[in-house]
Amino acid sequence: MTAPLDLPVAEMAARVADPRDGLRAADLVEASLRRIAALDGRLHAFLHVDAEGARRAAAELDARVARGEAVGPLAGVPLAVKDNLAVAGLPLTCASKALGGYVPPRDATVVARAKAAGAVVVGKTNLDEFAMGSSTENSAFGATRNPFDLGRVPGGSSGGSAAAVAAGLAPLALGSDTGGSIRQPAALCGIVGHKPTYGRVSRNGLVAFASSLDQVGPFARAADDAAILQRVIEGPDPLDATTRAFPPPAGRPRDLAGLRIGVVEELEVGASGDPEVAAAVTRTRAALVARGAALVPLSVPLMTAGIPVYYVVAPAECSSNLARFDGVRYGARVDAPELDALYARSRDAGFGPEVKRRIVLGTFALSAGYADAYYKRAMSVRGALREALAGAFARCDVLLSATSPIPAFRAGEKAGDPLAMYLCDVLTVTANLAGVPATSLPAGRTRAGLPVGVQLWGPDGSDLELLALAGTVRAATGLAYEAPALAGEVA
């Protein structure tokens, strides 16, 4: 018998919303809190668990149901929130000492919308400090572990959210994706993760890393579940001028017959990748072709510039955004006799090595005499890359690639080699640079039992169609979320 917390989100919420059913929001919250208490000591997916607040919110929702009030499509569903998103009354640390003691007075727009839809926030999840990393090892409060192998990383920077969903601690989670930080951990943890079209979801209340790249998106065990959360959080927001309205889905049927799947040469898993990942992509494509889809070979040479462009643009914007954490206007303070020394000591004490590295890179790229050679040139290539990708979508409906060229790697394996860590994002950064949506979904396991993910890319604004297609791909391949053995230790 399926535990209520493991039901599809739509069924879970419908049962809570029905006063005759007997399933209460309080039941789901208690189940989530029990799992967190039993498993998170080994995973370290959460930085803060709000048991009291979650119980209070669940009781209020159950009271509304008893009064016959409408409670929304996420009624009673426990939600984990990445700790770079504001939740009123809960610590907001970005996994950094620089924000120690900060508690925001109001919710991020996405959190407010999720709460209005009935979701119950159970806690804040771990991340790479200020969302800079691909392993969730750069947290000032300790690394998160992969539920499928506690000696390996869950990916990053949203590794806490991915691990929480994969281990069944919460059925839904919010993360942020700047260069792959939702999709890569989703792939390494065997779940669904969606990076929305830029501007589709508000960034209000998200602590900025790289403002022209960041997007908030959902984690879930299934594409249908992710789509429900995506519908709840998206839409224009007067508090974020970059948001925009999108037309409703065109209603393209889920049938794969006639679907044109782009196979981009530059997105193929090369010799430096894992052959089992490449094989999983090949099997997925073959399963779709067997059901009527057509493969369209493509070459987008500018894709090879994705990593160099990203690691100019993202650090440059990071340098600008994190300038306010100086111990005076914002952030933890280390006193000094002179103002310059106060700035230097506060930032040195507050920021970890990876954040400092990216600030230095970005400051250099924006400095006088170098901005034209680096930042402006990177932005020019970025524009050309966006146009090249639009040209690819003129020839196909979606692209399908691996999400990560390798499965989860061992903790500490890449910690001393920043370039090797950066290359973990080689298959994901281009979607952020171009602003297009992309969804990672499970594509099986390696012989060692580690999850592998494939990535669907769609044209601008095709988020809901892409998530619907992800569900169709799951049905065609028969590959879906499988709980790690760890999750079986607690009901």
**Burial level of 258, CB count in 10 A (0-12/13-18/19+)?**
exposed
Q: For residues 64-80, b (16+ Cβ closer than 10 Å) or e, as one string?
A: bbeeeeebbbbbbbbbb
Give the count of alpha carbons within 13 A of 104, CB side only: 19
* pLDDT at res. 442: 97
Could you say which of 96, 135, 161, 181 is catalytic?
A: 181
How far is the CA of 330 from the CAs of 81, 97, 240, 351, in angstroms? 22, 12, 21, 13
The confidence score (pLDDT) of residue 252 equals 57
Active site residue 181: yes
The string of pLDDT tens digits covering residues 40-53 is 999 999 999 999 99
Residue with tokens 């990071």: 318
139 is catalytic: no
Q: Please give the pLDDT value at position 270.
A: 80
Strands (E) across 322-475 are located at 398-402, 438-445, 451-457
Give whole-number Cα distances, 462 to 10, 23, 183, 356, in Å.
22, 35, 17, 36
Contact partners, residue 74, CB within 8 Å, separation at least 6:
9, 13, 114, 117, 118, 119, 172, 228, 229, 232
ω before 299 within 30° of 0 (cis)? no
Q: Which two tokens stand for residue 392?
A: 């690819």
Q: Please list, in sequence order, all residues whose beta carbon lies within 8 angstroms of the beta carbon of residue 339, skipping any fewer than 6 positions away.
A: 328
- Structurally, what CATH architecture does the domain formed by 7-256+466-489 represent? Alpha-Beta Complex (3.90)
Nearest 5 degrees, angle CA 86-CA 89-CA 92?
40
- Measured between alpha carbons, how far is 120 from 24 in angstroms, rounded to an integer? 12
Active-site residue, selected from the candidate residues 134, 157, 440, 462: 157
- The Cα 45–Cα 191 span in angstroms is 15
Domain segments of the chain as ranges = 7-256+466-489
pTM of the full structure: 0.97
Q: Which of 82, 124, 195, 414 is catalytic?
A: 82
| 211 classed as catalytic | no
pLDDT by residue for the chain (491 residues), tens only, comes to 789 999 999 999 999 999 999 999 999 999 999 999 999 999 999 999 999 999 999 999 999 999 999 999 999 999 999 999 999 999 999 999 999 889 999 999 999 999 999 999 999 999 999 999 999 999 999 999 999 999 999 999 999 999 999 999 999 999 999 999 999 999 999 999 999 999 999 999 999 999 999 999 999 999 999 999 999 999 999 999 999 999 888 765 567 999 999 999 999 998 678 999 999 999 999 999 999 999 999 999 999 999 999 999 999 999 999 999 988 877 789 999 999 999 999 999 999 999 999 999 999 999 988 899 999 999 999 999 999 999 999 999 999 999 999 999 999 999 888 888 999 999 999 999 999 999 999 999 999 999 999 999 999 999 999 999 999 999 999 988 999 998 878 76
